[in-house]
Amino acid sequence: MDFTFNEDQLLLQQATRDFLEGECTPEWVRASWESDTGRDPAFWKRLAEIGVPGLLVPEAHGGLGLDETDWVLLLEEVGRAALAEPVVATAVAAAALAELDDPAPAAEWLPRVAAGDARLAMGHAASPFVADAHVADRLLLPADGALHLLPQSAVSLEAQPSNDGSQRLYRATFAASSATRAADGARAAAILDAALDRGALACAAQALGVADRLISLAVEYAGQRQQFGVAIGSFQAVKHMLADVKVALEYARSHVYRASHSVARGERCRAVDVSMAKLAACEAATAAAKTSLQVHGAIGYTYEQDVHLWMKRAWSLDLAFGDPVFHRARLSSAVIDGALPAESFGYSPQGA
Amino acid sequence: MKIVVCLKQVPHSDARLDINGDGTWIQEDNLKFEINSYDTYALEEALRIKDAGEAEVVVVSIGPDRVTQALRTALGMGADRAVHVNDSAVEGSDALGIAKVLAAIVKAESPDLVVTGLMSDDGNFSAVPPMIAELCDMPSATSVLKVDGANGSLTVERELEGGAMEVVELPKPCLLAVQTGLNQVRYASLKGIMAAKKKPIDVKTAADLGVGDQVGAGAAKVRMEKVYQPPKGEGAELLEGSTDDVVGSLMNKVKELGLL
């Protein structure tokens, strides 16, 4: 079986990279930090024109109808560019809408998402503050074991502070009623589980791009900055630090790609694969942030230097859709407590 | 209206270039490639003509399997179909050999307009476009910076030396070799790339085009003798000190050399 990405998938990734390299520059990211909403509807529309918000939206609703194995490549580029638009919040909520028993909300909102005319947000117990709620046309929020679909006007939003200037978080409160209920019981739980795994996978994929960018910034700087008459990149101690985070990144990449396959196929080991990917990718990204900062030295601490744009993104991704403690606990439950049999990891013990 | 756009796939502008074993070209293994920057402007201009009215845009390229990616990208941007000359016999061709292959396609397609980039980022010869025009017996204009269409002819502005411009009118069919900055090149969309999967890529050999005996290293009159990194010059002087000191020293140097 060939697990490598095909030419079409790599072309999609390259097209996304070309667009974001040209349009989502560090100056653009800085400007978004300093704007009131941190988001730009015109830029969102341009993202829709190239197909970013509609990638997971079924073709019947005007999207590309692709799956998470394609999505992770695109999200890697989102992380590499430190794009702040609500790509993940909207995609996670859109996928959840498509999983509701009632097809009407999906029929109404998914074509708008694909066209760039709507943005969505979703809450989850593992990520209690709702990202991008302030620009969402519709919010999917959990309460009392049910999932509720609400217009923004029906939700009270309280802004929360974040280290990452790109991140806009809100405490969302609302009056739940039978009229707002979109799913309940086991159905709501299944949709929330899927949303958590999809969101955590998205964080992991973005973390790959963030780590790669941080390493690139450090390598470039190490080649320019001179000390004792030579570039600091020629010092073995600097080389080793950078090599270590590069190894961590490539190790994490395999986990993310495997998790994307598990999410796309709804594999039994989906939760474990996603938690492994989230932990490995965010560890690589936070390590890359620390190393990049150290390589840059004092100048890395300045606001004008670009390192912090990605460093703070690495930190915020580490906490979104389940922090490391949550994902380690989930792994422990599955692996040590035996919540999942060994076969679900693709392992068949001798003589079993 | 039919427009043929000639594309070349060249090493990515960020790629680290190493010279190959026999010192006659760069090492291409594991290198990342992209569409020649000049050719992206040519494609964009063709797509703008298409967007403004009825036109079929056919993209053409020569090279190994990897060239498919460049053609797929062009199809994703909006071209209608592609012709890929994938034939090892063409390897080692000089500019005339390449022009003969492209001219054979142009003759077969019989377009109203051929658009190419002014030159390639790797070869920088600027030789192929006028050769295609000559072989196809059609008028051409190089270094084109503006195109205006009329019924049976095109009015184009050409960039000359020293910032001067020249306005020429060409009857169709004709060939335009465009300069960079002619337009704002669009991005390939994900939707376009998905739609491009259904667009045809016609794979041909030099023999299919009737030029099998006119291409390749054996037919080339121009051969690459040597590719090398230019040696570091002895005359470079590094100016050191504060910004004011460096600016002052630089100004003195400029005056000493009589450049001001």
Task: Give all strands (DSSP E) within chain A, no chain letters.
Answer: 120-122, 130-131, 138-143, 146-151, 155-160, 169-174, 181-184, 226-227, 230-231
The three-point CA angle A223-A225-A227 to 5° equals 115
User: How many structural domains compose chain A?
Assistant: 1
**Can you tell me the ipTM of this complex?**
0.82
pLDDT for the residue B260:
74
At B100, list the tokens.
């003969």
- Domain of A228 in residue numbering reads as 187-343
pLDDT digits (tens, 9 = 90+) for A276-322: 999 999 999 999 999 999 999 999 999 999 999 999 999 999 999 99
Residue A262 within a domain: yes
Closest CA to B178 of B59, B41, B7, B2: B41
pLDDT for the residue A352:
45
Residue A77 within a domain: no
pLDDT digits (tens, 9 = 90+) for B28-61: 888 999 999 999 999 999 999 999 988 999 999 9
Does the predicted model carry a pTM greater than 0.90? Answer: no
Kindly state the percentage of chain B with pLDDT values over 70: 100
**What is the DSSP-derived secondary structure letter of residue A163?**
S
pLDDT digits (tens, 9 = 90+) for B95-131: 999 999 999 999 999 999 999 999 999 989 999 999 9
A333-339 own/partner pairs: CB under 8 Å, 24+ apart: A334/A269, A334/A271, A334/A272, A335/A272
Q: Give A334's pLDDT tier (boundaries 50, 70, 90).
A: confident
Q: Give A348's pLDDT tier (boundaries 50, 70, 90).
A: low
pLDDT digits (tens, 9 = 90+) for B117-172: 999 999 899 999 999 999 999 999 999 999 998 678 999 999 998 889 999 999 99
Res B195 pLDDT > 50 = yes
Kindly state the percentage of chain A with pLDDT values over 90: 90
Q: Which of A11, A14, A78 best probes binding to B when mutated, by most B CB atoms within 10 angstroms?
A: A11
Mean pLDDT across chain B: 93
SS3 A125: coil
Q: Give A240's pLDDT tier (boundaries 50, 70, 90).
A: very high
Q: Which residues contact A122 (CB under 8 A, 6 or more apart)?
A: A89, A92, A93, A96, A130, A139, A140, A141, A195, A199
Q: Give B259's pLDDT tier (boundaries 50, 70, 90).
A: confident
Topology, domain B2-204: Rossmann fold (3.40.50)
Closest CA to A197 of A279, A239, A259: A259
pLDDT digits (tens, 9 = 90+) for A168-225: 999 999 999 999 999 999 999 999 999 999 999 999 999 999 999 999 999 999 999 9
Q: Which residues contact A179 (CB under 8 A, 6 or more apart)?
A: none
Residue A153 within a domain: no
Closest Cβ–Cβ partner in B190, B194, B197 for A52: B190
pLDDT for the residue B83:
98
Give me the DSSP letters along B12-29.
Answer: -TTPPP-B-TTSSSB--T
* A50 neighbourhood in chain B, CB within 8 Å: 187-191
Residue A281 within a domain: yes
Closest Cα in chain A to B192: A50
Closest Cα in chain A to B197: A8
CB neighbours of residue B27 within 10 Å: 13
Instruction: Measure in Å the smallest separation between the Cα of B6 and chain A Cα atoms.
Output: 20
* A55 neighbourhood in chain B, CB within 8 Å: 190
CB neighbours of residue A347 within 10 Å: 9
Residue A52 within a domain: no
Q: How far is CA A116 from CA A31, A64, A199, in A?
A: 21, 13, 20
- A307: domain CATH number? 1.20.140.10
Q: Peptide bond before A86: cis, by omega within 30 degrees of 0? A: no
Helical axes A7-23 vs A68-81, angle rounded to 10° = 20
At A17, list the tokens.
């990279």
Q: Is B190 close to A7, i.e. CB distance below 8 A?
A: no
pLDDT digits (tens, 9 = 90+) for A127-177: 889 999 999 999 999 999 999 999 999 999 999 999 999 999 999 999 999
Q: What are the structural domain ranges in chain B?
A: 2-204
For the segment B256-260, the average pLDDT, to the nearest whole number, is: 83
Closest Cβ–Cβ partner in B72, B189, B193 for A49: B189
